[in-house]
Amino acid sequence: MVRCSVLASILLLSACSLAPNRNLPVLESVPETPGAFAAGVADSGAYRPLAWWKSFEDPVLDRVIEEVLSSNFDLAGAVARVQQARSRAGVARASAFPLLQPSVSVNDFDGPTNAGIGAQLEEVGLDPEALSAAGVEIPDRLGLTTYTLSMEFAYELDFWGRNRNDTRSAEAELAATEADYLSARMGVLAETVRTYLEIASLRRQQMLAGEIVAVLQQQESLAESRYERGLTELEDLHAARRRLREAQAELPQIEALSADAEGRLWILMGGFRADLAHTLSDYTGPSPSLDPVPTGIPADLMVQRPDVLAALQRVEAARFSVGARRAEQLPRLSLQGAIGLQSTDSNEWFDPDQWFRNLTANLLGPVFQGARIQNNIAIAEARLNEAAAAYGRSVVTAVNEVESALAGLDASRRRHALLAAVSDESRAESALQEQRYVSGVGAYESFLAAEQSRLAAQSMLAAAERDLGYARLALHRALGGTWTATDSERLMLQQTRPDGRLPVRPPTE
């Protein structure tokens, strides 16, 4: 009965945790998430962030994304950080098990009889002459070989949950690192799509700028002809030439911007320009999508946004770390010992009668450590408050970023619609002036002016399509985008979690 009561007490004590609860003052100040997004009434619905970049309906973009997912160095570094965190969590879990260390030793002693114990026998009158007279012969030297085969062990009973809290803290930090990987992945994908849209816009702008230059060259030629015939003044010719040179000056700038954007894309793809030039060989650019993006409800951001999930898990890691530091104030009970076989004859090593054991129990309690433990607890509590504040900020930031992205997407849609109407009108005007010129009732100058207006309107519409793509990308990123794991990434995460899934809720007590 006594042993049972002692065991029950040990189990009761080991089950307690000194970690603070989740009702932290900093977290209590975080406002409740609203029931719906203020700017997302028309876009309400269940957001399913699976391969969101496919909404641009561009097969070339899909190939670029595949290259980035397989070759990006930032993602490789993020995977390595997850592997480090997983190993640290494994080290922390090892504290729950006893330390076992096998040992094999051979102790060979050989010394003169008149030294050591032989000298002590002489001091009490049992010298070799006296022993010889009694019929006991003592050799000149004493030799003894002892063989030992043992298993040493050490174990600290986790009464106050120090090791258990350290383990939970490491596991929560692992979950936060996994979420950091997803956040890094989202950032890389978003930067890839944005750079791709920029390249698309620049290539289209370069094409339109070339057409504008061709129109202005015709206007310059016409102005020069009219001046030579005395039909216009010299300033009209200078004005036509100035407009042409200004348009021509745009081309080198667009080429430089394109080279810079393509270089950034090659970096994201983890290769060199010559190696990856084939990727954009049949490049056409994505078409703008005006379809609404279902946003879900603000509470979904707690699951969809990896940065919010990472902040939540770091609160848990800091909370359990406080419990571990508080446990250092209390006594520690550790057990050390060894069990094995010992004999002077190697033939008797495995004889059960030759077994031995020793067991040592140590109860150590902190007495005076110069307030080191108290300061460690204060540091851990301050880190907990810092992590809780970061989590609160991530929640507020997530909701407001979605609100801003929704407003930006709506504004970009309206601007795109207006510029599309302007482009249609300019196209109609150009077609009319061309028909009038062909029919002989209109001037060629009027057709060139209408054609220039049409190209300028198309250039503005191309910029609006790019901005619409940027706005849609910003909303995907604000909502948490997606991550569709490749086979290697899925295997990595499955090795991290038994069920292959990321933790969504904080670990239970």
Pairwise CA distance, residues 272 & 108, whole Å:
67
Token pair for 218: 């015709």
Domain 16-97+171-335+389-496 has CATH 3.10.310.10: no
- Chain center to CA of 217: 53
- Written as one string, the DSSP assignment of 222-247 is HHHHHHHTTSS-HHHHHHHHHHHHHH
Residue 135 is predicted with a pLDDT of: 66
Residue 132 is predicted with a pLDDT of: 66
Beta strands across the sheet bearing 141-157: 99-112, 141-157, 332-343, 355-364
Which regions in the chain score pLDDT beneath 70? 1-17, 22, 24-32, 34-36, 38-50, 113-140, 142, 273-279, 281-285, 288, 294-303, 346-350, 367-370, 481-509
412-461 pLDDT, tens digit per residue, is: 999 999 999 999 999 999 899 888 888 888 888 888 889 889 999 999 99
CB atoms within 10 A of CB 467: 19
Strands (E), 354-420: 355-364
CB atoms within 10 A of CB 281: 7
Residue 276 is predicted with a pLDDT of: 59
Pairwise CA distance, residues 502 & 445, whole Å:
66
Residue 11 is predicted with a pLDDT of: 38
314-373 pLDDT, tens digit per residue, is: 999 999 999 888 888 888 888 788 887 777 776 666 677 777 777 777 777 776 666 888
Residues in the chain: 509
Work out the angle at residue 154's Cα, subtended by the Cα atoms of residues 373 and 10, and round it to the nearest 5 degrees: 70
Reported pTM: 0.76
Pairwise CA distance, residues 456 & 451, whole Å:
9
